[in-house]
Amino acid sequence: MFCILAWRVFWTTMVGRAAPRADPRLAVTAAEIALLDRLVPDRTAGGRTLSTYVVKVARLGGYLARSRDPQPGNLVMWRGFARLADIALGAALARIAGMWVIGSATERLLASRRAISPMRRSPQRATT
């Protein structure tokens, strides 16, 4: 099992370096692309290329993506894919439970807080 995962991490890292303008579906699934688009904001206007999504996965793993940083390595890609797998599992569970609300992340967060927060008391006026 770890051999398959290690192969995917290494292959994605190397193909991201060799063919940065390739289609991102070459290395990540459509569901992962959708999650990455929602979770990791784009830093450049490069478009939807493989290198964009390699950097997004790496940023989940701790890569800072500064202008002078080298390309992401296998360790941050491993961490990023592990975190992405956890997020994908959580999204799938939320979708099954019916908690998935279409809209921005802020709207979903506010809707969930309204649904579970206790009623707040209005501020009391001081009597003089």
CB 13 within 8 A of CB 79: no
In the chain, the amino acid numbered 80 is G
Give the separation between CA 88 and CA 5, rounded to whole angstroms: 16
Higher pLDDT, 79 or 44: 79
Q: CB atoms < 10 A from the CB of 91, how many?
A: 17
From 1.25.40, 3.40.50, 1.20.120, 1.10.740, which CATH number describes the 2-116 domain?
1.10.740
CA angle 88/27/64 to nearest 5° reads 70
Higher-scoring residue by pLDDT: 101, 82: 82
Q: Say whether pLDDT at 108 is over 90.
A: no
Question: Percentage helix, strand, coil, to 5, in the chain?
Answer: 60, 0, 40
**Structure confidence at residue 117 (pLDDT):** 45
CA–CA separation, 9 and 21 (whole Å): 18
What is the DSSP secondary-structure string of 8-67? HHHHHHHHHHH-TTS-GGGTS-HHHHHHHHHHS--SSS--S-HHHHHHHHHHHTT----T
Residue 87 has pLDDT above 50, yes or no: yes
Encoded amino acid at 97, one letter: A
Tokens of 64: 């800072």
pLDDT at 5: 84
User: Taking residues 92-116, what's their average pLDDT?
Assistant: 63
**pLDDT over 90 at 98, yes or no:** no
